[in-house]
Every structure is written in C-alpha cells, then in structure tokens.
Structure 1
C-alpha cells in the first residue's frame, strides 16, 4: 500500500468512526491459497530482486530467468503452477541452442513434461512442440504486420517464406485474396511436420501453398527462381497481360537471416529480360541490432540498415523501412528491414563476389 492509498483508507476509517460505528478486532489466518501470484513471489525473493514476466504458449509458461533469480527457479515455477489455472508446464530457456535448427533448449521446472501445445493468433490455430520448434508469442503483432502489408497490396502477391517455422506468416498470407501462391520452407523437419498439420487444421486450399524442407540458401537459389517463373506463367494464363506481380521474401531468423541475403544476387539471372518489367521483388529480413553501450533508438534502426548494406550492394537495393519489432535485452533490439531488390541485383551473373564470401565468413563465425 502506498502513501496515497493509506491516506484514503485512514480518511474512510475516520469518517466511519465519526458516525458512531464501533470497530472490533478479529484475527484472520491468511493461508497460501489466499495469496495471489505477485504477493507470493515478493515473499520468497530478496528485496531488490524482481521476477520478470513470462510468455504463454498454450498450457506452457516460458520463463527467461536472469542469473540472480536462478536459485529460486523451482519455487517460482511451483507458485505459477499453483496460482495460474491454465499453467500446466513451466519451462526456463537455457543458454544452449540447437546448432542446426536454432531453437533454445528448455529446462522443465514444474508440471507435466508435455510440450505439445495449440495456440491461436488472429483466429488461426497453430499446433507445435515447444521443445523442438521455434515459437515466440511476443511476435504476434509482427506476424500480423507483415501479412497485413501483403494483404494491402494492390497487386497479386507471391510469398516466399524462407524460415517458415510452423506457419505464422505463411498460413494467414495464403488466405489473402490477392495472394496467388505461398512457398513455405524450413530446415527443421519437425517444423515441417507441424506446418503441414497446421495447413490442414486451418483448411488452407492445397493450391495456395507449397511446402519445402530445405536449407535457406538452397531454397533461395533453387525454389525461388523456379517459383518466380511458374507464377509469371500462371499470371499470363489468367488473360490479363497488364497484371503485375509482387514477390515477397520473408526471412524471420534474426540470429542469422541477414547472412543469407547474398544468395539473392543473381538469383533470377536465367529469367528473360522482358519478364523483369512485369513484377517487383521485395525482401523483409529480421535481425538483431546490438550495441556495446547505451544508444538512442535511431542508432539501432540505422545499425539494422547498415547490416543489410554489408550483405548487399547499397546501390542495388531500396530500403523501404527499418521497423522496430521488440527489445530483446538492454542493448539488443530486433528489427525488420524491408527493401526492394533491383532487377540488376536479381540478374547479376558475377555471384562469386565480395558479398557471398563475406557472408560465408559470418556464418562460420556464428557456428
């Protein structure tokens, strides 16, 4: 109770007493069941230590505990299980990352070892195994933002989802009236298993989506050029020669997606020159902008753009937006840089250049 609340209570008591009401003292035993989550956590943590928020994925509560909180992790988890009715499984993110599929390993703190959950985002349902695929409930608005941008296009659109996961971009985009086709890819076979299941759960028309289980670079180099040619041919058969297409590539793997950008250099070099006048190609890449000391928001925004320019020639792309997605840590922000790729970049033949070599160095450094 703060000073203002205490003042209000004291005034109310004085008002009651002035009217001749008699007060009696009664003893009440406050049991554990009577305490809410906030009071319980405050009672077990030393002064100055606060429990940060958690994220919910179905029945799973995902904690990201700071080092100084770790000694209390099991007690915290027990309180959450007891006090939150829908919480059946409490996990903490460890420092270990799956080297191949880039999802965090989890530590079960309390509850059932059941990691399969179903979540709902904007009326779409996604089934997933939280211990084997990437899912972040905090990206709900980002999923919707990208899909809305595609949906609001005045042209027919084709989506290439390079790191599709279980489908939070691909599935809603497939239902957009102006979406001609979605090509969804992920390297993780478990993600592909759930993506295919979610396609059925949400009743996505089979002709609107195609799924691939490939490395991102292979998907960009092989599937995208084939897909572009097929969709251009399909648009011609519709009988509208004036119709233009928009191709959108979404790359939501912020830890390393940016290193895949050089694969777009010359990716459409086999396409006939006339076709380049019938479409625009856009790319939306997610990345982490990090600082070694405190910086203003504009610094992180420009850092994200700089990271793109280190991978692609600046005069061959048009930066459309550097969008703040969320703060990950004190000096680490997640951004999405949206850009238009020039025809010159897409049909370049000298792909063994400085950008590809530099990207390989970065990928090796990240392990």
Structure 2
C-alpha cells in the first residue's frame, strides 16, 4: 500500500482512533453523544472466565502529535464529565491513556464502525477508560480506505458491480486520475476480486459493447454470473451484460411463466444477448417454444454456450432455438413465418399467446416497423381471425428523458414505427402499459413498453405507403 501512496503522492498516515471503553450495563441512552458499538471478544478470558461485551465510543482525531496519537483532550474530558454525571464508576487513573496494539486475527474482534483485530492484551479493562487504539490500512473497510486515501474533492465511490472475479466501475471524470489507486484498494479489500475495470466509453448501439479500461489486476474478462437459477458465462469485453437488470429479467420471466398455466406460450427474443430472458424461460419447461436471436456474433456464441451449460437430461432445453441475424431479418425470416405456422396449426378455441421481447433500449421501438401491416402479409392476418384465442404481446424497451411526457411521446414513437395513426392505434394497440424500469443516467430513464398488437384489427386499417426505415446506427 505504501507504494500506491507514493505513486499518487498521498502523504497520509495510518489513522489512529481515540476510544472510550464502557462496561456493559452502563446506560448511554441519557447522553446521545455515546454511540453503542459492540466489540466482540472471545467468550472466555485467559482465566477461563466468561467475558463481557464492551461498548466503545469513537472520538474525533482532529489533532495529533508527532507520534500520530490523538491529543485533543477537551472532548475526552467532556465525555468523562458526562460519565461522572451518570454516576458511572470510573478508575482512579482514567485520564491516563492506555495504548492497545493490534495483531492479525480479524475473526476474533469486529465492530460495525471499524474492523478491529485481536488485542494483544488478553485483559481488556471493564471500566470506562481512555485508550488509544492504532488502526492500520489492513483494518479498514473498502469505503473507509477510499475515503482516507482519495482527495477530499473526490465524491464517495460506492456503486460498482461484481461478477465473479471481476469488479466493474463507472467512474466519474474527477476520479479517473486515481483509477489505479482505486483498483488496487478494491483488490485488497474485496474478496475473490482479481480484475477491476472501468467503462471507458459509451455503449455501441450495434453490438451493445463498450471499451473497457483495466484499473488493476488481471486482464481476464471471461466471467460468469448466476441469475434465475441459470449460470451465464461470457466475455465481458465482447458482449453486453448488466447485473442491475437482474430484477427486470426475473419480473419478465415470472410474468410469462404465469401465462403458461392457461395457454400455449411462445417467445421470440429479438435482441437476446447471452440469454438472460430466453434461457430461464426455456428451462422452465412450461413455454412451448423459444426463439432467441442476437446480431453480435460473440453474443450468439455465448448464447449457444450457455444453452449447453444450463441443459441437462431433466431439462435439455430442446425448446430453445438460437439465431445470429439482424433484428429485422429475424422478424421477417423467423418470427412471422413461425407465427403463421402457430396460428394455422392451433386447435379451435385454443388459448395461444406469443411474446416478443425487444431489449435494445437505444433502438428497439424503431424495429417495430418490421410488424407493419404490409410486412405481416395477408395470410398471417387472416390466420389470426381463426376460431381461437390469440394475443401478440410485446415487451419493447426504450430510453426516455426524465421530466418529459413519457406516455404520449413513447406511444407516438411506437405508432410511427408501426405506421399507424392515433385513431387506428385505438383499434390495433391494446393493453398499453409503459412501465418504468430504472434510472440509467441523469435525466435518462429506461422503460418497458408493454402492449398487445391486435392482428385482427389490422384487416380494417387502410393501406399506407411505408415510411423510410430508420437506420441501424
């Protein structure tokens, strides 16, 4: 750690905390200045006598002498005066400080304020007293170390994602100068982490990847995570994965799973990535069939790998079919033909539900143009009018500016892609539900547009010349 401090020219000494020690049973509730922090010792002392827990109070360490010991006596004296007022039994020499040194058994002593290590002295005084306890770098938590060794101008660094051995940060510009220091501290303080990275550029809208910046550790980006009872392995430098979407993945999987109870269910995952939606759904053995696609060849390879990884004799994932195509090509060549086949082969009065997942927030609504009436074909529209219960359900993700009118603006974007007017939308777009997912950046939110497309109603919609397709990039 000293070499790290030298590299960034931080001349801060190891912190020394000044503590007051209380016997258990002393009522500190009358004085709000006393903080109850439990110091856990071994259950028995050197004489095999049951120990008592003690309460410690951390005091300010604003003033230090040349030996780095706290010499701010006034707050300490104030504490003792408060104890005297509470009629607490104090030792005769309570104003003389006692120094306790630390060894290396962190499992024996812990506190929710500072991770103390085992005291060399087996006999810890049970009366309130004045003690100086040196706490070194090895005793600090990650948050404490970052706060101490980074300049005061740097905002607290707390939010990051851990994927097996890999820790992923999105550092703010002012913290980039200290990225190596931050990375080294993370390696020291977070168990099992061997690689610390920072997102160096925005996400590419084509393959949803971004440039990584190695902050510290090994240049090893192949990692794995567990989600929804499945294991996902991938190369984080070549595919898209966001652990913060785990709750959303679970919500959608559970929603579709419930629909399988009363209907035959089919899923089309247009931007499947490495399979966070499609693999858990296929593994449920409740969904009739799942078609998963991604344009990124690396995502497709890991999708195939994860299909095999999560397949077993009991759950072989035979219902999952994978593709490596452009989104519009996938709709034209796979989704629409399969929908026609599903409708044509379904029994009368049967309840059939198809779900189209479009998890590409930057562009997904634009790809809805693949479902325009002129692209569906008369055969599919006629088949939807057969004597059966059929619904085509969409989960289309998008970004939207905070504090604007999300309902109206997002609906307009969907209608433009589908080439529908407002009056036509009332017939065709049903169960409209724009659902907030999460805030991704200042003034930028992620939504899931849930709705149904009524193919029967498209039959009465007038033919309109198709508009120019939005570009992929």
TM-score, structure 2 length as denominator?
Answer: 0.68
Offset of residue 268 of structure 1: 3.0
Residue from 298, 308, 326 that aligns with 1:215: 326
Indicate the SS of the match to 1:81.
Answer: helix
Aligned CA distance change for structure 1 residues 272 and 54 (closer, same or farther; 3 Å):
closer
**Matched residues in 1 for 2:180 and 2:206: separation?**
30
Offset of residue 340 of structure 1: 0.5
Match of 1:181 in 2: 289
Match of 1:310 in 2: 416
Match of 2:209 in 1: 103
Residues 1:136 and 2:242 aligned together? yes
Indicate the SS of the match to 2:288.
Answer: strand
**Matched residues in 2 for 1:12 and 1:307: separation?**
69
Aligned CA distance change for structure 1 residues 171 and 80 (closer, same or farther; 3 Å):
same
Match of 2:276 in 1: 168
Indicate the SS of the match to 1:95.
Answer: coil
Q: Which stretch shows the higher mean deviation, 151-160 or 195-204?
A: 195-204
Offset of residue 227 of structure 1: 1.3
Indicate the SS of the match to 2:179.
Answer: helix
Match of 1:256 in 2: 363
Offset of residue 118 of structure 1: 1.2
Give unpaired runs (5+ residues) of structure 1: none
Residues 1:46 and 2:151 aligned together? yes
Cα deviation code 1:283-309 (max 9, x no counterpart): 110000014xxx28xx44554334323
Match of 2:192 in 1: 86
> Does the CA contact (< 8 Å) of 1:163 and 1:252 recur in 2?
yes
Offset of residue 326 of structure 1: 0.7
**Matched residues in 2 for 1:183 and 1:213: separation?**
11
Indicate the SS of the match to 2:343.
Answer: helix
Residue from 31, 34, 55 that aligns with 2:136: 31
**Structure 2 matches for 1:1-367, cutoff 5 A?**
4=32, 6=34, 9=57, 10=79, 14=83, 18-21=88-91, 22-23=93-94, 24-26=97-99, 27-48=132-153, 49-98=155-204, 100-153=206-259, 154-203=262-311, 204-233=315-344, 235-236=346-347, 241-266=348-373, 267-269=375-377, 270-271=379-380, 273-277=382-386, 278=388, 279-291=390-402, 295=403, 299-300=405-406, 302-312=408-418, 313=420, 314-315=425-426, 316-344=428-456, 350=463, 352-354=465-467, 357=468, 359-360=469-470, 363=471, 367=473
Indicate the SS of the match to 1:179.
Answer: coil
Q: Which has the higher contact order (CA 8 A, sep 6+)?
A: 1
**Matched residues in 2 for 1:11 and 1:130: separation?**
56
**Matched residues in 2 for 1:345 and 1:353: separation?**
18
Indicate the SS of the match to 1:310.
Answer: helix
Q: Which stretch shows the higher mean deviation, 11-20 or 200-209?
A: 11-20
Indicate the SS of the match to 1:288.
Answer: strand
Cα deviation code 1:229-250 (max 9, x no counterpart): 33335544xxxx3212101100
> Does the CA contact (< 8 Å) of 1:264 and 1:346 recur in 2?
no
Offset of residue 39 of structure 1: 0.9
**Matched residues in 1 for 2:239 and 2:339: separation?**
29
Give unpaired runs (5+ residues) of structure 2: 1-16, 18-30, 37-56, 58-78, 100-131
**Matched residues in 2 for 1:216 and 1:89: separation?**
33
Aligned CA distance change for structure 1 residues 11 and 215 (closer, same or farther; 3 Å):
farther
**Matched residues in 2 for 1:268 and 1:349: separation?**
14
Match of 2:112 in 1: none
TM-score, structure 1 length as denominator?
Answer: 0.86
Offset of residue 43 of structure 1: 1.3
Cα deviation code 1:319-343 (max 9, x no counterpart): 4321111101120000000110121
